Structure 1
Amino acid sequence: MSSASPSPALPSTRPRTVLAPEDWRARARAHRERIARRTDPLVALRMRGEKHPVQDFLFGYYTHSPAALQRWHSGAGVVLADDDGTAAAAEAAELGTAPRGEWKHWRRVEAGEVPGVVLEGREVGGWTVDVPVFLADRASGAAFTRELLARTAQRAARLGCFGLHEWAMAYRSDVHGVRHSQLPLRLGAAGTDAVVEGSRIRCTHFDAFRFFAPEARGLNEGEDGVLPTREGMRDMEQPGCLHAGMDLYKWAYKLVPLVDSDLLADCFDLAWDIRRLDMEASPYDLTGVDDLSDGRGGYEAVRIEEPAGRAEYARRQREFAERGQALRIRLLAVLEGAG
């Protein structure tokens, strides 16, 4: 797969688009419905004191709550028309939250305050993302994210890891136990160890590598002999890594409300789909586990200990890398446009 370069910078992020109340409230509802199709079943499980062994990861390892994910943000450069504040008040009552004007990094725009904020031939007031305040509050985080995404986007995807990070985490489970204790190991402890010992482990992602069993860390080849570290993320992150693809969701929600909710939801969808493969290719037996949200039923093992399974893994990994690169470029465009 060829590497991609970041998109050119967007124009200034001063408000340049105005949405009528009925328009932006409809978009907000559509976003909530899109997210709820996946999060509501997980929330229902939690209410019963249960966890989903696959997709709960997206709200355990990642810190954005289902309620926060369901909040709709227009992104920078948009005014949500609401002259008298009634639309925001109605939204708050519907959501059971504070009005949008009290959400962090949002501000009021009065009619006539910003040139071009016009709806049906008249100047209007409303709500918009406070880009300067956001950038002041998140300067170091935004700079780190921009550099990480840009450097990752320009690297070629490496597709030879075959998801062995999950196997390395379960190595020597007779001594250390396993992270997903509610699931049995598909090949048992000895069979799992044999796969680890008979494979080349080439993990490049620190937040996977740090969970390796102690005895497995020395088996990791990393990238040309260089092992992943927190400090080395910007030098090693590459678009073929499943966890780098899932992490696009993290970078997106950390940039909310600068990032719009359509882009955030697209990153969440990618993370959801990647997590499916992450666990299907793992050493765990997912028999009887339901996906819950998309009508696909259960999970099918991707047997990476066999040639056919490795080919299947690499094929899907390549598709995810391509999806991830497109989202990475979109996130970079937001950061570049914000200045």
Structure 2
Amino acid sequence: MTVLERPEWVARRAAHERRVDGWVGPHLQRRRAGGRHPVEDFLFTYYSHRPAQLRRWHPGAGVVLAGATLEEMGRDYTAGPAGVTVDTAAVRARRADSIAWIRTLLASTATRPAQLGCFGMHEWAMVYRQTQAEVRHDSWPLRLSPARTAAVVEERGVRCSHFDAFRFFTAPARPLNVLTPTRERQHELEQPGCLHANMDLYKWAYKLSPLVPGELVADCFALARDIRTLDMRASPYDLAALGYEPVRIESPAGRAEYATAQRAFADRAAPLRARLVAAIDKL
């Protein structure tokens, strides 16, 4: 066990809350005003982790907080002579199957080479053969006409390995994908070059809470937030009014730009994936 004295862990908690407030505050303001942002709000609407949960700091398993009380740390903690710590045994008992599933996914993904040839066509497949009124983000126009958007999908093809992206494809787009991802094949198909697989590190981190430190969850959120920006810049939507310069994957230069950014995200994701696996193994 690592023992943190109260001034140290209180400072860490405050730093975590300040960091998260920079993301959460604008989102909550937009929500109160009835507004929506297709990039900045996505992680709070797509994933089930609420802003208050992201803001809550945990030290992770194996850390004793001296001077803490169960009242301030809440559920999943236990008190001992030296202080309060995560009740690791109780959390593991409740979530054993989930923890094992997550570890297998993370570890198997890390063993594969990054595939960088999808060029973000998953977002295009989600609007394929739809009218402006039918697309998911119907408040924002498409950069190209529906006919030209469909032509790009048909010319480039779709190489998506991620089930949670594939399930949002339009019905006519699904047969165009070279794979048929399913939940059951996720361990087999997930690969570290996939933007959505790397974005999902945030999901696996918060599902492992409070067994992993709050800082690690926030690091994964920060990565997911940056990935979402590229995801939408390379999408068929025109978000210039929000200050997002498009990555024109319909052109050779745009595809090269996308692949370079995709590689950089894979490199950023690798140590976070390793930290999550290490945190599980530490249990």
TM-score (norm 2): 0.97
Structure richer in helix, relative to its length: 2
**Alignment partner of 1:148 is 2:93:** no
Q: Match for 2:72 among 99, 117, 138?
A: 99
TM-superposition CA deviations, 1:27-53 (whole Å, max 9, x none): 101000011111111111001111111
Q: Distance in 2 between matches of 1:287 and 1:270?
A: 22
**Alignment partner of 1:181 is 2:138:** yes
Q: Distance in 2 between matches of 1:325 and 1:204?
A: 18
TM-superposition CA deviations, 1:133-161 (whole Å, max 9, x none): 11101001001001111100101110000
Q: Distance in 2 between matches of 1:176 and 1:199?
A: 24
Flag the 1:45–1:176 CA change in 2: closer, same or farther, 3 A: closer
Contact kept? 2:124, 2:236, Cα under 8 Å: yes
1:302 alignment partner in structure 2: 247
Q: Distance in 1 between matches of 2:83 and 2:32?
A: 37
Root-mean-square deviation (CA, aligned residues, Å) is 1.3
1:94 alignment partner in structure 2: none
Q: Match for 1:312 among 257, 273, 280?
A: 257
Q: Match for 1:193 among 119, 126, 150?
A: 150
Q: Distance in 1 between matches of 2:92 and 2:230?
A: 35
- What residue ranges of structure 1 are gaps of 5+ in the alignment? 1-15, 89-97, 112-124, 290-297
Q: Distance in 2 between matches of 1:35 and 1:299?
A: 23
Bigger drift between 31-40 and 169-178 goes to: 169-178
2:37 alignment partner in structure 1: 52
- What residue ranges of structure 2 are gaps of 5+ in the alignment? none
Contact kept? 1:176, 1:213, Cα under 8 Å: no
**Alignment partner of 1:108 is 2:108:** no
The alpha carbon displacement at 1:187 in A equals 0.6
The alpha carbon displacement at 1:55 in A equals 2.3
Contact kept? 1:108, 1:127, Cα under 8 Å: yes
Runs of 4+ in 1 over 2 A off after TM superposition: none
Which SS does the other structure have where 1:178 is aligned? Answer: coil
2:266 alignment partner in structure 1: 321
Amino acid at match of 1:99: E
The alpha carbon displacement at 1:104 in A equals 2.5
1:119 alignment partner in structure 2: none
The alpha carbon displacement at 1:23 in A equals 1.2
The alpha carbon displacement at 1:19 in A equals 1.1
1:8 alignment partner in structure 2: none
Amino acid at match of 2:271: A
User: Between Structure 1 and Structure 2, whose CA radius of gyration is higher?
Assistant: 1
Q: Match for 1:210 among 167, 172, 182?
A: 167
2:279 alignment partner in structure 1: 334
Amino acid at match of 1:17: T
1:30 alignment partner in structure 2: 15
Amino acid at match of 1:41: P
Amino acid at match of 2:226: D
Amino acid at match of 1:143: A
